[in-house]
Chains A and B, each alone.
Chain A
């Protein structure tokens, strides 16, 4: 099945960057779509590297956002990457940038301009990615923004999804803001969904991992014609739910580890002139990810592609 003879004329290995609608992505997008349709407010949280940002990106791309020739613009799902600057101004600028080419205007005008624009482009759902970075100023402005949209003349209710990354059992934003007694936070909390204000999106089960591996087989078929990853599902699942990569013992696989494991293994196989992965390559990759990921590379060797040091 595999061919160990190295072919130096083989073109470089190409990593496929297509979005895979994984089980996690379906679950995550399902929660966001529910918020969009019902105009409810939620904190949606998942482990770092689960694929939240990719899922948001995919949802926005398929939300029907367009600038029409008639001058009408539709942006039903407005997704913003939370700025690291904690000021309200930074958040307003981040929102304004999503609409298109930014135009200079005084701060006090831009603040209200954003509200009108959101109404004009028919925003129905607001998503803040990396919402765990939202500050007190940011959240105050989000409340004001949504309140203004709900009032005449706009009278638009919007869904709100604060997509956060969590570790352990701690839900970001909850303790720091929403559980506090001040009026602002009580008002914010009242606006959140009654039944499911905080949604945790789990990673992939073993069966889901197998389906993703099947998708990878299709994506890399042209480079590794005999690729059969599914037969290694059990091993891959076991490695990727090891305590090192799953410290909370969720027994779920995080997408970023799966993606890196697969592409790393496939690259090695490809560079060795093989047409499928073998046990040795997978074990090497698992060893790197589980036990050697913090190691420094002290090698003086240079790869043949690199120019010699003068």
Chain B
């Protein structure tokens, strides 16, 4: 981020105090830091963005989990930072690649969301980490602390509250950096690390085809578990498709999840959130390299008549 001198035209276009995204910072945290350095109420920057770009309330995601309708160019101008740096505070680009669409919603990442934060990150850098927005993450990988989702007063934490100071409880005004520091259990840290490996896999390699194969694996595993539970596991009429890894489909319109009833409860408005998929893969201990193995036809192409 460059220094702006009063002779630069950008002086009048930028906020009185600017903030630049920190490494691994999450967009709402950046907006709250902007509120704080400029001595504004919590959510003022977001409100200004909303007003100046004439958002309709229902069009924007108030929790900014997947802020696809946010006008990053405006924010980039006010902070005088590259737009790409702001996009890096979200998972928009990664999700767009996973689902091959720019029409993204919260449901592409997570189902219900609750704000979780690390008080030590807040105390040191006023940092809300982007990974804390990922479903299933419960610990801070840097401070090895449990993430906190409620204030000492019992109130559920809320990102933006009009008329309140940024980074404080909207009920008792306690600064989030003063929330309890609870050491994370080793097994929780290990599980988080495991989840993050899966997320990283999808964010770096993610394509709809990979996503679909992962779905197939989960569904196959769920079916196997169900058959074991029902005592039909040795019936070859039931198990003939199990263990067959489908090839990468050529038909872009195929979407395995829609055909399989086992996964239906996990879908939200026709979309399986990435967070849910990752949690299922981890729950059924399905290794990542299995998703990349390409052997055999897709069950619905080979067993179409069954």
Per-position 1/0 for B1-14, Cβ under 8 A of A: 11111110001111
Q: In the complex, how many angstroms separate the beta carbon of B190 from the nearest chain A beta carbon?
A: 37
B258 at interface by CB-CB < 8 Å: no
Q: Are B14 and A71 in contact (CB under 8 A)?
A: no
Q: Chain A residues with Cβ under 8 A from B48's Cβ? A: 103-104
Please tell me which one of the listed residues A63, A66, A104, A121 contacts residue B16 in the complex, with CB atoms under 8 A apart. A121
Chain A's closest residue to B1 (CB) is A69
Please tell me which one of the listed residues B4, B6, B78 contacts residue A60 in the complex, with CB atoms under 8 A apart. B6
Name the residue among B20, B39, B80 with the largest chain A CB count within 10 angstroms.
B39
Q: Chain A residues with Cβ under 8 A from B12's Cβ? A: 97, 100-101
Taking CB atoms and an 8 Å cut-off, the chain B residues in 3-39 that contact chain A are 3-7, 11-20, 37-39
Q: Are A117 and B6 in contact (CB under 8 A)?
A: no
Q: Are A117 and B3 in contact (CB under 8 A)?
A: no
Taking CB atoms and an 8 Å cut-off, the chain A residues in 61-118 that contact chain B are 61, 63, 65-69, 71-73, 75, 97, 99-101, 103-105, 113, 116-117
Name the residue among B2, B16, B19, B38 with the largest chain A CB count within 10 angstroms.
B16
B44 at interface by CB-CB < 8 Å: yes
Q: Are A120 and B40 in contact (CB under 8 A)?
A: no
B51 at interface by CB-CB < 8 Å: yes
A100-B40 contact given A65-B6, A75-B6, CB 8 Å threshold: no
Q: In the complex, how many angstroms separate the beta carbon of B24 from the nearest chain A beta carbon?
A: 18
Q: Chain B residues with Cβ under 8 A from A72's Cβ? A: 17
State in angstroms the CA–CA spacing of A24 and B19 once bound together.
Answer: 40
Q: Chain A residues with Cβ under 8 A from B14's Cβ? A: 67, 100-101
Q: Chain A residues with Cβ under 8 A from B2's Cβ? A: 69
A101-B7 contact given A69-B2, A113-B39, A117-B39, CB 8 Å threshold: no
Q: Chain A residues with Cβ under 8 A from B40's Cβ? A: 103, 105
Please tell me which one of the listed residues B11, B17, B18, B19 contacts residue A120 in the complex, with CB atoms under 8 A apart. B17
Q: Are B3 and A66 in contact (CB under 8 A)?
A: yes
Contact-residue size bin, chain B (C-beta under 8 Å from the other chain): 20 to 34
Q: Chain B residues with Cβ under 8 A from A116's Cβ? A: 39
Name the residue among A61, A101, A117, A121 with the largest chain B CB count within 10 angstroms.
A101
Chain B's closest residue to A63 (CB) is B6
Q: Chain B residues with Cβ under 8 A from A63's Cβ? A: 6
Contact-residue size bin, chain A (C-beta under 8 Å from the other chain): 20 to 34
Q: Chain B residues with Cβ under 8 A from A75's Cβ? A: 6
Q: Chain B residues with Cβ under 8 A from A73's Cβ? A: 16-18
Q: In the complex, how many angstroms separate the beta carbon of A219 from the nearest chain B beta carbon?
A: 20
State in angstroms the CA–CA spacing of A67 and B5 once bound together.
Answer: 6
Q: Are A100 and B15 in contact (CB under 8 A)?
A: yes
Q: Are A99 and B16 in contact (CB under 8 A)?
A: yes
State in angstroms the CA–CA spacing of A65 and B12 once bound together.
Answer: 13
State in angstroms the CA–CA spacing of A44 and B164 once bound together.
Answer: 43
Q: Are B51 and A117 in contact (CB under 8 A)?
A: no
State in angstroms the CA–CA spacing of A103 and B7 once bound together.
Answer: 21
Chain B's closest residue to A99 (CB) is B16
Q: Are A68 and B3 in contact (CB under 8 A)?
A: yes
Q: Are B78 and A67 in contact (CB under 8 A)?
A: no
Q: Are A71 and B19 in contact (CB under 8 A)?
A: yes
Please tell me which one of the listed residues B1, B7, B20 contacts residue A61 in the complex, with CB atoms under 8 A apart. B7
Name the residue among B1, B11, B39 with the largest chain A CB count within 10 angstroms.
B11
Q: Are A65 and B13 in contact (CB under 8 A)?
A: no
Q: Are B39 and A71 in contact (CB under 8 A)?
A: no
Chain A's closest residue to B34 (CB) is A71
Q: Chain A residues with Cβ under 8 A from B6's Cβ? A: 60-61, 63, 65-66, 75
State in angstroms the CA–CA spacing of A99 and B40 once bound together.
Answer: 14
Q: Chain B residues with Cβ under 8 A from A66's Cβ? A: 3-6
Name the residue among A65, A69, A100, A105 with the largest chain B CB count within 10 angstroms.
A100
Q: Chain A residues with Cβ under 8 A from B80's Cβ? A: 67
State in angstroms the CA–CA spacing of A65 and B7 once bound together.
Answer: 9
Please, could you name 24 A-B residue pairs with CB atoms under 8 Å apart, sorted by A? A66-B4, A67-B17, A69-B1, A69-B2, A69-B3, A69-B20, A71-B18, A72-B17, A73-B16, A73-B18, A100-B11, A100-B13, A100-B14, A100-B16, A101-B15, A101-B78, A103-B15, A103-B40, A103-B45, A104-B48, A113-B39, A117-B16, A117-B39, A121-B16
Q: Nearest 3 pairs between A and B by C-beta?
A: A99-B16, A65-B6, A69-B1
Besides the known contacts A100-B13, A101-B13, A103-B48, 15 further A-B residue pairs in the complex with CB atoms under 8 A apart? A66-B4, A67-B3, A67-B4, A69-B3, A69-B18, A71-B37, A73-B16, A97-B12, A100-B11, A100-B12, A100-B14, A103-B40, A117-B16, A120-B16, A121-B16
